[in-house]
Structure 1
C-alpha cells in the first residue's frame, strides 16, 4: 500500500503575514482548511472570519470550493516534492443591514429600460 504524501501549505493573509506552514493530506477537504485558518487567526487582527463562508482560499488564481479535497483542487505545486504551497486568504467583509437595504432598493432601477418609440 502506497504512503500518502503530505502537502505543505501556508496561508497568506491580506496584510502579507502568514499562517503556517502546516502539512495536510491530499484528501483534506477545503472546508476543514478554512476551519483551521479560523482557529489560528491572529487575535490582534480586526475583522476576523466567523465562519468558513466568510473566507475564500485562492491558489494559482482559482478560488477553491469548500466541498472539494486538495487532490480534487489539483494543486499544481503539490507535484514538486518538498515545495510549500502558498494560498491566499480573502475575508469577505460583513454586510451591515444598511448596505443590504440599499442593495434591495437599487435592484429594480438597474433592470429598467429607457427606450421611447415614437
Structure 2
C-alpha cells in the first residue's frame, strides 16, 4: 500500500512528538493577551474621564496611575499575543522545514550522483 504525502507528513509529525497547540495552554494565553490588549486602552480611557470630571488633585493622580496601569496592561497583552501567535506559526514552520530537508536527503540519496574531486577544488 502506498502512503500519500499528507499521510506520511502526519506520521512524521507524530514521530517528532510536537505537542498539539490545541491541547496546550497556548490558546489560553493567546486569549488572555488579546483581552489585555482590549482592556488596557479601555481602562486608560476610563481613567481619562475620571481625571477630567473632578477638581480634586488626589483623585486626578489616582486616575493618572490607573491610566498608566491600563497602558502597561495593553503592552503586556500585546507581548503575550505576539509570543503565542508566533509560537504556533513557528512550530509548524519548523516541522515543515524538517520534512522538506528529509525529502531532499531522500532525493539526493536515491540519485547517488558521485561528486567530482575537481569540482570541490578551488579555482585558481
Per the normalisation by structure 1, the TM-score is: 0.23
Structure with a larger share of its residues in helix: 2
**Higher strand proportion, which one?**
1
Question: Could you state the TM-score of these two structures normalised by the residue count of structure 2?
Answer: 0.22
* Rg (Cα) greater in structure: 2
